[in-house]
Structure 1
Amino acid sequence: MLFDDTYRTISKPTEGIFRDRGSKFLAFAYPISSDSEVKTILSKLKAGHPKANHHCWAVRIGVDRSVFRVNDDGEPSGTAGRPILNTLLSKDLTNVIVVVVRYFGGTLLGVPGLIGAYKAATEEALAQAQVIAKTVNDVYTITFGYEQMNDVMRIMKDEQLLVLENRQELHCELKFSVRKTQVEPVITKLNKILSLKAVYNYSG
């Protein structure tokens, strides 16, 4: 199969801790579905740990795993955000943000020490996580006449499609989610129903 329509993420937030020479590294991993959640998570952790020296993080997002961002938050460049991201990459996880909150213990750890500490803290948090596989789905909206409702619902049931919204009037509108590899046969079946219109919404 050319297109892999599954991706790996974590089921719920987890935490981990790593200590080195007095410094404490608290790692927080969260599953997220969009980049807009990053700001809220960072604000919450900064409010909860106002005395911490650094709040470093990495995020990887998108079902094609292509979008990522890192932030060293004052640590030497490449010693914090990048090791966090590399851990996400090595575990092939996406739609995840990991924030590592550091309390400085008075002893400088040096570049290799920092890289190792941020990686170890991230691994601790992810070791607690339940990794789940999710399918990449497309969302479509279809419009059709009320008299075609039974035919449409039969296809939804036969193909085990998730109905997200269903408005039944003279002209009905139904929004559903379909696994990417199922799109072609499903749309072909729906198109056989007279005067039905399918509009692609988004992938997720």
Structure 2
Amino acid sequence: MEYSTICRRSFAEITEKKSRFLAQAIPVESEETVREALEEIRKTYWDARHHVFAYRVGVQTVTERFSDDGEPARTAGLPILNVIKGANVQNTLIVVTRYFGGTLLGTGGLVRAYTHSAKAALEEARIMKKATYVRYTLSMSYPFLGKLQYGLTEAGYEIEAIEYEDLVSMQVLVREPDTPRFEHVVSELSDGKIQPLESGRELAAKVDSQWVFFPFPKD
């Protein structure tokens, strides 16, 4: 499993001919959480004219929807959905609340304004790639440590942790599709003397150089 989504909820605002566009990108896990987020925003900005939105929800099966919420057809919600699809993110909702400034923007102006505000919110939210990783434990005597550390790093693997006791215990997270290659690299580096032991699977992403772990989605 591997897919891109946003790291956090974000906010961005742009102004176009005195109309204010308040954009929020929100991580969501289901259409129920989409409805909850929309209800919250409508209550917060109860006096706004439009709450335009689009979302993509799901991992194995993705549901896409959008709403122009009273704007001319396909000038608002669809451009937001196109931003989400263009970034190839899932489990993501973008809502753009508009306060009308008194000047009509025209269809082209609306498309540009909603596109720019959605992009600004998405940029603030930042994108991460979630993937299934296999956690391997490598137990070895101390003479193997330096060679394994260097060799695995050179091969593109990141060592999660090392514990020093009578034997060295090394934890390595490996993307699921790459496990055969990893096992081969370990065998080559240790002359077949170290056997990688699978100790679990994680849905994880690297955010600001730190591992973040997530529950596996239900779908």
Shorter-chain TM-score tier = 0.5 to 0.7
Superposition deviation, residue 65 in structure 1: 6.2
Structure 2 runs not aligned, ≥5 long:
134-195, 205-215
* Match in the other structure for 1:9: 5
| 2: CA distance, partners of 1:161 / 1:53 | 50
Letter aligned with residue 31 of structure 1: P
Identity %: 36
Q: Which runs of 5+ in 1 are unaligned?
A: 138-156, 163-176, 180-200
Number of residue pairs matched by the alignment: 146
Once superposed, what is the RMSD of the aligned Cα atoms? 2.3
Counterparts of 1:1-204 in structure 2, within 5 Å, are 5-64=1-60, 66-135=62-131, 158-161=197-200, 203-204=218-219
CA contact (8 A) 2:27 2:93 kept: yes
* Pairwise CA distance, 1:202: 7.2
Separation of aligned partners in 2, 1:10 and 1:202: 15
The alpha carbon displacement at 1:112 in A equals: 0.5
Contact preservation (8 Å) 1:161, 1:178: no
- Distance in 2 of aligned mates of 1:178 and 1:50: 38
Q: How far apart in 2 are the matches of 1:9 and 1:202?
A: 13
- Normalised to the residue count of structure 1, the TM-score between the two structures is 0.66
Question: 2-side partners of 1:90 and 1:32: how far apart?
Answer: 18
The equivalent residue for 1:147 is: none
8 A Cα contact 1:65 1:94, kept in partner: no
State the TM-score, normalized to the length of structure 2. 0.62
Cα shift readout 1:86-109 (whole Å, capped 9, x = no counterpart): 001111111000000000000000
Between 1:58-67 and 1:24-33, the stretch displaced more is 58-67
Residues 59-84 of structure 1 show CA distances to partners (whole Å, capped at 9, x for unaligned) of: 10111463100001000110111000
Structure of greater relative contact order (alpha carbons < 8 Å, 6+ residues apart): 1
CA contact (8 A) 2:42 2:51 kept: yes
